[in-house]
């Protein structure tokens, strides 16, 4: 959704943010010149839906920004200055929600994450540049600490030739045993970090994978994992 000042007046964008989309074909990007008045933006006739290629012809500088995830906010002082990330802009859907995964597991996660049940049954939460994939299963006829030791061996003995272990994690407490590791992967276009982890309660295993582009999101991923 783009201000018609951009398209009709050919003014380059100066402020843009990506909120949670409300339909599949919506990227969530809202793009403005930064010159609009409040009355102007409140009039729906002053905003249009455009193909990204239309806006990129007006301003190619936003190409990389359009790849950033939901929750991203960017601004610049003028079309001659660099874009910078805004951290104090409040998005409507930016708050924590709690979802029940099954009778034993709940996750508390930012509402900006889109929740998707994939064809294979995996549960995916994603903002495009950050994702969490979750799988739950039972290990019949096994006890909690045996399951933990099996997964600890997986972490300790994994094949380093595919991706080097960058860090190992152990966040167990009286209720949940947690073990995991951090690596870097690539999809052929870009590199990203992944935490692969296992959380164990009784004979039930929650396997999770946190994907994130920016290493600054490591702490947030770990805190989300600990809270599950």
- With residues binned 3-state (H G I as helix, E B as strand, rest as coil), the percentages for the chain, rounded to 5, are 25, 35, 45
CATH 3.90.79.10: does it fit domain 96-227? no
- Look up the pTM and report it: 0.88
Q: Domain map of the chain by residue range?
A: 2-85, 96-227
200-222 pLDDT tens trace: 999 999 999 999 998 999 999 99
Percent of the chain's residues with pLDDT above 90? 90
> 């995830």: which residue's tokens?
69
Query: Which residue blocks in the chain are alpha helix, DSSP H?
Result: 4-8, 38-42, 52-58, 144-157, 218-227
The predicted pLDDT at position 83 comes to 96
The predicted pLDDT at position 154 comes to 93
87-98 pLDDT tens trace: 999 999 999 999
pLDDT at 25 exceeding the cut of 90: no
38-82 pLDDT tens trace: 999 999 999 999 999 999 999 999 999 999 999 999 999 998 899
């Amino acid at each position: 959704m783009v201000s018609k000042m951009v398209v009709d007046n050919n003014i380059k964008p100066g402020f843009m943010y990506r909120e949670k989309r409300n339909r599949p074909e919506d990227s969530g990007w809202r793009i403005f010149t930064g010159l609009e008045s409040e009355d102007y933006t409140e009039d729906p006739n002053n905003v249009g839906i455009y193909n990204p290629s239309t806006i990129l012809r007006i301003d190619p500088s936003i190409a990389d920004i359009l790849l950033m995830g939901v929750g991203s906010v960017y601004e610049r002082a003028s079309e001659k200055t660099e874009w910078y990330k805004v951290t104090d802009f409040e998005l409507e859907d930016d708050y924590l929600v709690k979802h029940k995964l099954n009778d034993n597991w709940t996750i508390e996660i930012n509402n900006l994450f889109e929740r998707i049940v994939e064809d294979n049954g995996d549960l995916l939460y994603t903002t495009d540049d950050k994702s969490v994939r979750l799988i739950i299963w039972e290990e019949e006829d096994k006890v909690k600490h045996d399951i933990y030791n099996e997964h600890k061996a997986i972490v300790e003995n994994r094949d380093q030739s595919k991706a080097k272990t960058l860090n190992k994690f152990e966040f167990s407490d009286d209720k949940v045993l947690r073990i995991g590791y951090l690596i870097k992967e690539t999809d052929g276009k870009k590199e990203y970090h992944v935490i692969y982890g296992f959380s164990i309660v009784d004979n039930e295993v929650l396997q999770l994978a946190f994907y994130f582009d920016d290493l600054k999101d490591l702490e947030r991923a770990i805190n989300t994992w600990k809270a599950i």
